[in-house]
Structure 1
Amino acid sequence: MKRSRFTEEQIIGILREQESGQKTADVCRRHGISAATFYKYKAKFGGMNVSDARKPSALEDENARLKKLLAEAMLDNAMLKDVASKMVTPGAKREAAAHLCGAHGVSQRRGCAVLAIDRSSVRYRSLRSDDADLPEAMKKVAGERRRFGYRRIHVMLERQGIRKNQKKLRRLYREEKLQVRKRGGRKRALGTRRPMVLQGRTNERWSLDFVSDAFTDGRRFRVLAVVDDYSRECLALVADTSLSGLRVTRVISPI
């Protein structure tokens, strides 16, 4: 909207000159306005004082200020919903601030204020050396020594001339998921066992059991063994990575 070159006080002064008895044409000529503009001023400000004329302007300014605050609050709410995930690590906070600046077109200061983080943490750039070869060296040692933890891997790497902080080695050890699996305790049978009755001839009773082992690459496989209890003859020996109940039935039926 085009702003008038006269203030409210000046317009009311022009109207009062005409009300004091001067001709409208003379007043318009003196102030360089047209008659239509004069009557427009009179329709809007006629009979008003300076204080009355300032009230609508003050209300408009207050309304504009409230609209601006509401728009900023709605934008902050939209940005917070956009990054609703948890930001725990400094790296995640830097990524969230960069996303807000790029997606919503806000400044870095505004994005950091919305996320309640310090700008120094967003501007931080790591000066640490790149240890891209360290995880591969750890994997190689862990592949050769499968029961070694991060402390013993640290000793082996030092023997190879790779000297790193043990805490850093532990962090990489966890990130690469090289933890040694804990062996479960031995299961013990409860109660007393009855002695097994010996059989008098073959094919009177069979026993079957599964044997499990692993390949060098870590894949597990199982072996189904069927044995005659009297002659101790192995009637079937089937190996596979998976043996279902239907597969066991198909193996035993021909026997």
Structure 2
Amino acid sequence: MAIPQGANQRWSLDFLSDAFADGRRFRILAVVDDFTRECLALVADTSLSGLRVTRELDVIIAWRGRPAMCLSDNGTELTGMAVLRFSQERQIEWHYIAPGKPTQNAFIESFNARLRDELLNETLFTSLAQARAVLAAWKDDYNNARPHSALGNLTPTEYAKRNALGPQRDGTLRYAEGSAPRPVASPSPLGSYSTGTLSIAG
């Protein structure tokens, strides 16, 4: 599978499990942009159905835009009708990794390992509200405060800003906060052609 070359080209999804101090289990839905490495969501609840997954993805899409593809394993929550209907209606390609091949979802597997080592294994959770608050704080720190070696020692948020496309005054596209060279040819002035076709002399 090709490595994404821009934000929102591919989001990876996965579930993690943990337990409260009293032994009750809860789950976490993690969503990561494979290009920027941004953590887009950490959703904790005692139950996370396919319908709930699609609702959470719609929340992300509302502020970030629609991904071209989602990548996940073959868990029952992610292979049901709710996800199938969501991907068709939103025109999002959904790719499932081969069973027993977590390395095919390497970006989020690496993210999950960091989340488990730095937070889940070190925290005694007492309630769902506490788990959500702690996860939100960790997500904010991960995205905005920690440099990532694979991103040239930028934070995921900084890397996303550097690679975001934005318009220049002359109408051409540039990388926001980046150093991409200006186009060789300037855009033609408005009204230079009376029609949209180009006539060839001769």
TM over 0.5: no
Larger radius of gyration: 1
State the TM-score, normalizing by the size of structure 2: 0.29
Greater relative CO, 1 or 2 (CA 8 Å, sep 6+): 2
Q: With structure 1 as the length reference, what TM-score do the two structures score?
A: 0.23
